[in-house]
């Protein structure tokens, strides 16, 4: 018997997150492992009057591509990929990996060239998101590979995923609306702030956010949601930040990352493991050396690092920054072919806003989550 939580998850994404309406061109992207969720998403889209298009992606095929592609093949952008990013009203992407290390043996230079070639598509996506012409959502489907990465049994990982998405509740939509209201209070607080200072282990970082918009991620763009974020002023980040959690880029793990900023740009990048890969990716373009995002993780149902950024960036009691492309909706002007999130544990840290302590040991002082 199909897990009824899969149907609830599909209904949540279609009815609440992306709000599919009559006539929408809705693209669903998933792997064959996620077929049960794909089918439920197609049903839900059709029930809302939308026009679904499904295409499947497989990590094994992408691995073959990177092994054999050369020169202009790495730079070729499919007309189909362009149509999807330019024409879809709704895009739903399913995280359902069956092989999380599929790029571990690929030359980082090939990945860099491919990411650089796809920069235009990234910029179109960001522009359409900012203007509201594209409604998108990234949603998980539990697989054995993801459970293994999280060091959980498949049963426990399924419980974790569905709890984080709140489809274990009788009314998931109302649960997310309550989360949204709580986070909106934090958005209101941060919207009055000009400069944020982060102090923690091996960290003293100043980030300017004046004139930028804070976004309430309440499950509309990501499922699960549970963060508030903005785009820092591009040339004003100063200081150093150390990330306790591994930074993972397409299955490649970089541990013990430490970044030093001067006038908004990374001037020194270190790592205990994977430093060469880190430096290669940061050289993909000029925007990769600057911050495109600064965020607070506020989903306290997520309390375990799983090596899946969809969950890890929302861990209650963390902050994260992204090097590379910023979201224009925040006011960010940083452009890059990458957007790489890196997570810092703040459960022993502090955050100051314009010199005033507002956050300590993983919690905002004026808001009890």
242 and 303 share a domain?
A: yes
Q: What DSSP state is assigned to residue 332?
A: -
Return left, alpha or beta for 333; rule: phi > 0 is left, psi -120 to 50 is alpha, else beta. Answer: alpha
Phi, psi of 248, rounded to the nearest 5 degrees: -120, 125
Q: For 146-205, what is each residue's pLDDT tens digit?
A: 999 999 999 999 999 999 999 999 999 999 999 999 999 999 999 999 999 999 999 999
- Measured at the CA of 314, the angle between CA 320 and CA 262, to 5 degrees, comes to 5
- Could you tell me the residue range of the domain that residue 147 belongs to? 4-164
Q: Which of 164, 196, 227 is the last residue of a domain?
A: 164
Structure tokens that stand for 250 in this block:
């397409």
Q: Are residues 183 and 261 in the same domain?
A: yes
Q: Is residue 251 part of a domain?
A: yes
Q: Is residue 100 part of a domain?
A: yes
Domain assignment of residue 160, yes or no: yes
Q: Are residues 157 and 179 in the same domain?
A: no
In a domain, 190, yes or no: yes
Please check the confidence at residue 279 and state whether its pLDDT lies above 80: yes
> What does each C-alpha distance from 356 to 59, 193, 324, 360 come to in angstroms?
47, 10, 29, 11
Reported as a single tens digit per residue, the pLDDT across 288-337 is: 999 999 999 999 999 899 999 999 999 999 999 999 999 888 999 999 98
In a domain, 352, yes or no: yes
Element (H, E) at 345: strand 339-345
List of E strands, 147-257: 195-200, 203-208, 215-217, 227-230, 238-242, 247-249, 252-254
Same domain, 216 and 147: no
Task: Give the integer Cα–Cα distance in Å for 126 and 292.
Answer: 12
Query: Which residue, 164, 196, 228, sits at the end of a domain?
Result: 164
Does the pLDDT value for residue 89 go beyond 80? Answer: yes
Distance CA 62, CA 66 (A): 6
| Residue 153 counted as domain residue | yes
The answer to whether residues 199 and 343 belong to one domain is: yes
User: Using one digit for the tens of pLDDT, what is the confidence trace for 27-56?
Assistant: 999 999 999 999 999 999 999 999 999 999
Count of beta carbons in the 10 Å neighbourhood of residue 185: 14
pLDDT of 367 reads: 61
Is 93 in a helix, a strand, or coil?
A: strand
Tokens 């150093």 identify what position? 240
Quote the tokens at residue 243: 């990330």
* 88: CATH: 3.40.1830.10
Residue 369 is assigned to a structural domain of this protein: no
Q: How far apart are CA 340 and CA 337, in angstroms?
A: 10
Residue 68 sits in the same domain as residue 98: yes
User: For position 93, what pLDDT does the model report?
Assistant: 96
Give the chain's length. Answer: 369
pLDDT at 71: 87
> Lowest mean pLDDT: which of 13-17, 115-119, 187-191, 244-248?
115-119
Q: Work out how many domains the chain is built from and give that number.
A: 2
Closest CA to 215 of 177, 179, 192, 188: 188
Q: Which of 6-10, 71-75, 308-312 has the highest mean pLDDT?
A: 6-10
Are both 259 and 120 inside the same structural domain?
A: no
If asked whether residues 197 and 257 sit together in one domain, one would say yes
Indicate the residue among 118, 140, 164 that finishes a domain: 164
Given this model, what pLDDT does residue 1 score? 60
SS3 309: helix
Residue 119 shares a structural domain with residue 202: no
Q: Which of 109, 103, 119 is nearest to 280 (CA)?
A: 109
Asked whether residue 179 is domain-assigned, the answer is yes
Range with the lowest mean pLDDT among 21-25, 111-115, 173-177, 201-205? 111-115
Q: Which residue, 235, 239, 243, 231, is CA-closest to 206? A: 239
Same domain, 160 and 176: no
- Verify that 20 and 122 share a domain, yes or no: yes
Q: Specify whether 268 is located in the same domain as 119.
A: no
For residue 292, the model assigns a pLDDT of 96
Tokens of 303: 């309390």
């Amino acid at each position: 018997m199909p897990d009824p939580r899969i149907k609830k998850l599909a209904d949540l994404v279609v009815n609440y997150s992306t709000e599919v309406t009559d006539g929408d061109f809705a693209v669903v992207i998933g792997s064959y492992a996620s077929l049960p969720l794909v089918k439920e998403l197609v049903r839900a889209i059709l029930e809302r009057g939308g026009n679904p298009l499904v295409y499947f992606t497989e990590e094994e095929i992408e691995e073959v591509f990177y092994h054999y592609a050369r020169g202009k093949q790495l730079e070729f952008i499919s007309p189909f990929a362009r149509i999807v990013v330019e024409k879809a009203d709704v895009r739903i992407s399913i995280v359902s990996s069956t092989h999380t290390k599929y790029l571990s043996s690929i030359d980082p230079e090939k990945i860099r060239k491919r990411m650089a070639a796809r920069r235009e598509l990234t910029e179109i996506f960001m522009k359409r998101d900012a203007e509201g012409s594209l409604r998108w959502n990234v949603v998980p489907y539990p697989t054995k590979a993801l459970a293994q990465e999280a060091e959980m049994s498949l049963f426990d990982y399924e419980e974790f995923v569905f709890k984080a998405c709140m489809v274990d509740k009788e009314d998931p939509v109302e649960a997310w609306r309550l989360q949204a209201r709580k986070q909106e209070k934090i958005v209101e607080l941060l919207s009055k702030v000009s400069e944020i200072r982060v102090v923690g282990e091996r960290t003293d970082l100043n980030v300017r956010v004046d004139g930028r918009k804070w976004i309430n991620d309440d499950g509309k763009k990501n499922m699960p949601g549970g963060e508030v974020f903005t785009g820092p002023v591009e040339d004003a980040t100063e200081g150093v930040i150390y990330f306790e959690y591994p930074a993972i880029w397409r299955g490649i793990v970089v541990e013990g990352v430490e970044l030093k900023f001067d006038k908004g740009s990374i001037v020194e990048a270190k790592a205990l493991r994977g430093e060469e890969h880190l430096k290669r990716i940061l050289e993909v373009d000029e925007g990769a050396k600057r911050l495109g995002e600064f965020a607070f993780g506020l989903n306290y149902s997520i309390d375990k690092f799983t090596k899946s950024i969809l969950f890890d960036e929302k861990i209650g009691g963390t902050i994260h920054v992204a090097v590379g492309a910023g979201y224009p909706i925040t006011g960010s002007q940083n452009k890059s072919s990458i957007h790489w999130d890196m997570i810092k544990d703040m459960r022993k840290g502090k955050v100051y806003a314009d010199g005033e302590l507002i956050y300590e040991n993983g919690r905002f002082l004026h808001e009890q989550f």
